Amino acid sequence: MLETIDGLESGVRGYVRLFPTVFDTALGSELFDVDGKRYVDFFCGAGTLNYGHNNPRSNAALIAYIQRHGIQHGLDTATRAKIEFLESFQTIILEPRGLDYRVQFTGPTGTNAVEAALKLSRKYKKRSHVIAFTHGYHGHSLGALAVTANRYYHDQHYGSRSNVSHLPFDGYLGDTDTAALLDRMLEDPSSGLPIPAAIILETVQGEGGINVASSTWLRKIDAICRKHDILLIADEIQIGNGRSGQFFSFEQSGIVPDIVCISKSIAGGLPMSIVLIRPEVDVWKPGEHTGTFRGHNLAFVTGRTLLDYWKDDVLANGIKRHQLYLEHHLRSVCGKYPELSFTTRGRGLMQGLDVRCGKLARAVIDHAFANGLVIEAAGAYDEVLKLMPALTISPEILDEGLQILDAALAHAVSSLLRVPTYKEGAALPALNPLPIQPVASFSSATS
């Protein structure tokens, strides 16, 4: 069946090359291909399936909506589904957190939310420049591409720099305070850095290698924005929707961004993307940022239903327990390979294992996939194994996935014998997979 893909689909396809099978069905944290082979999912649609595949709550709501012939497409007209989503988002998410935002429904992709945020910032501040950060990822349309850090996408044959400067993210220069560096450059009229309309950041850089900004650094960046009259845009597209352990990842630091981009898991796998805007910044005129699918009613239905997970702390507490377990497990993995200097980092259920070598990471991914685990890599060299299980994953399936990952890592290390890293070479020991310790159940969070 893959011959159809090879023969008809564009060469731009990516994940089918990494996961070469034909998937057919899925439920929760399990995928099944057309041959009936089962896979544990640590990929979650690159963060689109935080609540698992075919979440029973959202499926039931969607089926009921379709059966009553609910509006499916309405541009940005008023529909019952939209109003119910907005009211629930206000009462369940915004009000308990003391947040005052207008909600803009953009085209259904995360990159379109970023485009809208950048355009609005420039319109509001009447400035063209934007500051982004090293290893940042914000999408592939031209405006979003300009704030994405990968060098290839800034080649003149491909994309555009489009009045964007990339400065060092937290930790990029070791112990150097990169927030202080940014502040100094903005204060200095001869630094070459214009006062921008906005600064855009991810609190945890997913595609960039699971780089976690400290709360202290985030508060400094927020203060710099206030000091220099700059808007702060938080890209919550992958780390938001609960993946950090809180609905918004910026909550932990106490900052309140001027603009927030949300997509991926907000509708549980159906396409929807929104921008949250501080009311005084909402200077759009009707139709200034538009799109045929700006607010998809089927996504309103599933999104509204999934917001119910945040009415109490059951899911959030389960995420915390799984986070602690994953962190402990990954530290143990690093301890088993001291000669290779593996490191681990992350927040919530976005955890990374830096194996320091893209070749080694790919060998792990391939072996894990052959044995029933879907996982990808991140980072400048694709050297960081990226663990993103569903927030609703059961402890048993989480353990199963980790066992497959441990075996794949042991196999890759021993089979490659000596792995060249982007830092320095290191001899590889023959090691066995890690033992797995059970984690406490929180079955009420997975219902």
CATH of the domain at 39: 3.90.1150.10
Q: Residue 156: is its pLDDT beyond 80?
A: no
Lowest-confidence range among 54-63, 209-218, 413-422, 428-437? 428-437
pLDDT at residue 418, rounded to an integer: 56
pLDDT at residue 379, rounded to an integer: 96
Question: Could you tell me if 116 and 45 lie in one domain?
Answer: no
What is the rounded average pLDDT of the residues 16-37? 96
Q: Residue 424: is its pLDDT beyond 70?
A: no
Question: Could you tell me if 207 and 77 lie in one domain?
Answer: yes
Q: Into how many domains does the chain fold?
A: 2
pLDDT at residue 197, rounded to an integer: 98
65 located within any domain: no
Question: Could you tell me if 327 and 214 lie in one domain?
Answer: no
State the greatest distance between any 2 C-alpha atoms of the chain, in Å, as a whole number.
64
What is the rounded average pLDDT of the residues 74-100? 97
221 located within any domain: yes
Question: Could you tell me if 37 and 78 lie in one domain?
Answer: no
Closest C-alpha among 148, 139, 230 to residue 182: 230
Question: Could you tell me if 297 and 324 lie in one domain?
Answer: no
Question: Could you tell me if 260 and 347 lie in one domain?
Answer: no
Question: Could you tell me if 39 and 85 lie in one domain?
Answer: no
Question: Could you tell me if 303 and 381 lie in one domain?
Answer: no
pLDDT at residue 142, rounded to an integer: 87
> Who contacts 251 (Cβ-Cβ below 8 Å, separation ≥6)?
97
Cα–Cα–Cα angle for 421, 41, 273, nearest 5°?
95
What is the rounded average pLDDT of the residues 266-294? 96
The model's pLDDT over 297-329, given as tens digits with 9 standing for 90+, comes to: 999 999 999 999 999 999 999 999 999 999 999
64 located within any domain: no
pLDDT at residue 270, rounded to an integer: 96
Query: In the numeric block, which tokens belong to residue 351?
Result: 């955890």
Phi-psi region at 227: left, alpha or beta (left = phi > 0; alpha = psi -120 to 50): alpha
What are residue 376's phi and psi, to 5 degrees? Answer: -125, 180
Closest C-alpha among 46, 17, 139, 129 to residue 377: 46
User: What DSSP designation does 308 have?
Assistant: G
61 located within any domain: no
Q: Residue 76: is its pLDDT beyond 80?
A: yes
What is the rounded average pLDDT of the residues 48-64? 98
59 located within any domain: no
Confidence of residue 57 (pLDDT cuts 50, 70, 90): very high
Query: In the numeric block, which tokens belong to residue 115?
Result: 């485009």
pLDDT at residue 12, rounded to an integer: 87
Amino acid at 239: I
What is the rounded average pLDDT of the residues 240-244? 98
Rounded CA gap, 116 and 288, in Å? 9
251 alpha carbon, distance to own chain's centre = 16
Confidence of residue 160 (pLDDT cuts 50, 70, 90): low
Domain extent for 100: 70-310
Question: Could you tell me if 181 and 136 lie in one domain?
Answer: yes
63 located within any domain: no
Rounded CA gap, 379 and 190, in Å? 33
Question: Could you tell me if 442 and 328 lie in one domain?
Answer: yes
User: What DSSP designation does 208 have?
Assistant: T
Q: Return mean pLDDT, the chain.
A: 92
- Cα separations (Å) of 337 from 319, 385, 409? 27, 15, 10
Residue indicated by tokens 């305070």: 177
62 located within any domain: no
252 located within any domain: yes
Cβ-contact 348, 319 below 8 angstroms:
yes
Cβ-contact 370, 333 below 8 angstroms:
no
Lowest-confidence range among 164-178, 315-329, 407-421, 424-438? 424-438
Choose one of 250, 285, 310: the last residue of a domain.
310
Question: Could you tell me if 81 and 101 lie in one domain?
Answer: yes
User: What DSSP designation does 307 have?
Assistant: G
Q: Residue 442: is its pLDDT beyond 50?
A: no
- Count Cβ neighbours within 10 Å for each residue of 251-286 and write b for 16 or more, e otherwise: bbbebbbbbbbbbbbbbbbbbbbbbbbbeebbebee
Choose one of 310, 338, 369: the last residue of a domain.
310
Confidence of residue 390 (pLDDT cuts 50, 70, 90): very high
Phi-psi region at 241: left, alpha or beta (left = phi > 0; alpha = psi -120 to 50): left
Rounded CA gap, 384 and 345, in Å? 10
Question: Could you tell me if 165 and 138 lie in one domain?
Answer: yes
Choose one of 290, 310, 330: the last residue of a domain.
310
Q: Residue 238: is its pLDDT beyond 60?
A: yes
Q: Where are the alpha helices (DSSP H) in 154-296?
A: 178-187, 215-227
What are residue 5's phi and psi, to 5 degrees? Answer: -60, -50
Check which CATH number belongs to the domain holding 84 and give it. 3.40.640.10
Amino acid at 427: A
